[in-house]
Amino acid sequence: MSHNIATGEMRIGDLARRAEVTPRTLRYYESLGLLQPAARRSGGFRLYDEAAVRRLARIRQLKELLGFSLDEVREILRSEDAVQEIRARYLGTEDAGVRAQLLRQALERAGAQRELVRRKLAGLQAMDDEIAERQARIRQLLQQSTGAGGRQE
Amino acid sequence: MSHNIATGEMRIGDLARRAEVTPRTLRYYESLGLLQPAARRSGGFRLYDEAAVRRLARIRQLKELLGFSLDEVREILRSEDAVQEIRARYLGTEDAGVRAQLLRQALERAGAQRELVRRKLAGLQAMDDEIAERQARIRQLLQQSTGAGGRQE
DNA sequence: TTGCAAATTGATCTTTGCGTCAAGGTTAGC
DNA sequence: GCTAACCTTGACGCAAAGATCAATTTGCAA
């Protein structure tokens, strides 16, 4: 059994198939400090869990969708990991003052991340608008043309 | 004078500075058939015009913002150039039927381009929404926290 | 006319993000 | 306990997108 459904543990090939990447890619990501296996089996086999599946999906999203380099992805993940740490500390304290402080930190990080995404988004929006405008102009010409020239079809 | 303001003619270094790339990059783009200089001076110096500035900006936008490879950029530009050609032919005919046909071609191309952009946009939107949601959750916690713990500031 | 910044072509170098062997070690199933 | 499928590390290869020489030329400017 290569894939223990109950514990969610899987070997490198299983994870690779699930994420549609090659094992080589996963080893490479590991070497860059992007994705660590949850454990190693006695023989040396890497073992991954469900958290790894999610993290890998995130990596691919950042790389493919947003076009970040793996170096940038590492920085972003580092930041996200920090948020998780803040969350853990938040859950670990009862002190309202400390809690509020931690929340503010998390908020700040989320804000920074959003900034990044919104910049890309704005550029894309502008492009979309531009194309839409062009389409509208052409459509209008087409209307005039087929309207004036006697409608066809 | 390296940069004739009146005619908008400039040499490779001028264009490079304006677009924040290196001259090497421009020569490379030329070798890929992405950006042709408007002319060459007798000595062999490349001369660029304002159209080149715009085209270069477009290339960078497609590459940096949308994450297209230079190969893909070339295809997209080819398509855009085709639109320009359609436009020229449109202006060159009076035949309403031909005109309508050309307009429909242009419309189709614009549609295809928009599809591409919108796919990227959708992914980014989803990411932005996700972050926004996270922010909202944190803000709510913060409200509760500072609300319950006695407001400060 | 000489001098220096900027240009030319050509060649080789670098980085990123993996792919592809090579030579073995591990493990599930029979 | 054997075999096939999977895994290990290590090394080299490769395409994209330039960067960096190197050896000359060009051309404005004093």
CB of B146 within 8 Å of any CB in chain A?
A: yes
8 Å CB contact of A107 and B138: yes
Pairing of strands B39-40, B46-48: antiparallel
**In chain A, which residues have their Cβ closer than 8 Å to the Cβ of B110?**
131, 134-135, 138
- Mean pLDDT for A115-131 is 84
Q: Rounded to 5 degrees, what angle do the CA atoms B70, A71, B119 make?
A: 50
* A2 pLDDT higher than 60: no
> Measured from the CB, is A24 under 7 Å from any atom of strand C?
yes
Task: Copy the structure tokens of residue A15.
Answer: 């994870």
* B30 pLDDT higher than 70: yes
The distance of A146 to chain B (nearest Cα, Å) reads 7
What is the tens place of the pLDDT at every residue in A55-97?
Answer: 999 999 899 878 889 999 999 899 889 988 998 999 999 998 9
* A150 pLDDT higher than 70: no
Backbone angles phi, psi at B100, to 5 degrees: -60, -40
Task: Copy the structure tokens of residue A37.
Answer: 């296996």
Helix (H, G, I), strand (E, B) or coil at A33: coil
State percent of chain A over pLDDT 90.
56
Q: Any idea which nucleotide's C1' is nearest the CA of A45?
A: D7
Q: Any idea which nucleotide's C1' is nearest the CA of A60?
A: C17
Q: How far is CA A22 from CA A19, A25, A41, A148, B69, in A?
A: 9, 5, 20, 59, 22
Strands (DSSP E) contained in A8-65 are 9-11, 39-40, 46-48
Q: Where do the structural domains in chain B lie, given as residue ranges? A: 1-65, 68-153
**In chain A, which residues have their Cβ closer than 8 Å to the Cβ of B145?**
96, 99-100, 103
What is the tens place of the pLDDT at every residue in B41-78?
Answer: 999 999 999 999 999 999 998 898 788 899 999 998 99
CA of A69 to C1' of C13 (A): 21
The distance of B13 to chain A (nearest Cα, Å) reads 27
Residue B120: band (very low, low, confident or very high) from pLDDT cuts 50, 70, 90: confident
Residue B80: band (very low, low, confident or very high) from pLDDT cuts 50, 70, 90: confident
CA of A23 to C1' of D7 (A): 10
| Long-range contact set of residues B43-48: C-beta below 8 Å, sequence gap at least 24 | B45/B11, B45/B12, B46/B11, B46/B12, B47/B9, B47/B10, B47/B11, B48/B9, B48/B10, B48/B11, B48/B12, B48/B14, B48/B15
Q: Which residues are CB-contacts of A55 (< 8 A; sequence separation ≥ 6)?
A: A35, A77
Task: Copy the structure tokens of residue B52.
Answer: 């080149």
Q: What is the CATH number of domain B1-65?
A: 1.10.1660.10
Measure the CA–CA gap between B151 and B2, rounded to whole angstroms: 64
Residue A148: band (very low, low, confident or very high) from pLDDT cuts 50, 70, 90: low
Task: Copy the structure tokens of residue B79.
Answer: 């398509």
CB of B152 within 8 Å of any CB in chain A?
A: yes
- ipTM here: 0.78
> Measured from the CB, is A72 under 7 Å from any atom of strand D?
no
Q: Which residues are CB-contacts of B105 (< 8 A; sequence separation ≥ 6)?
A: B86
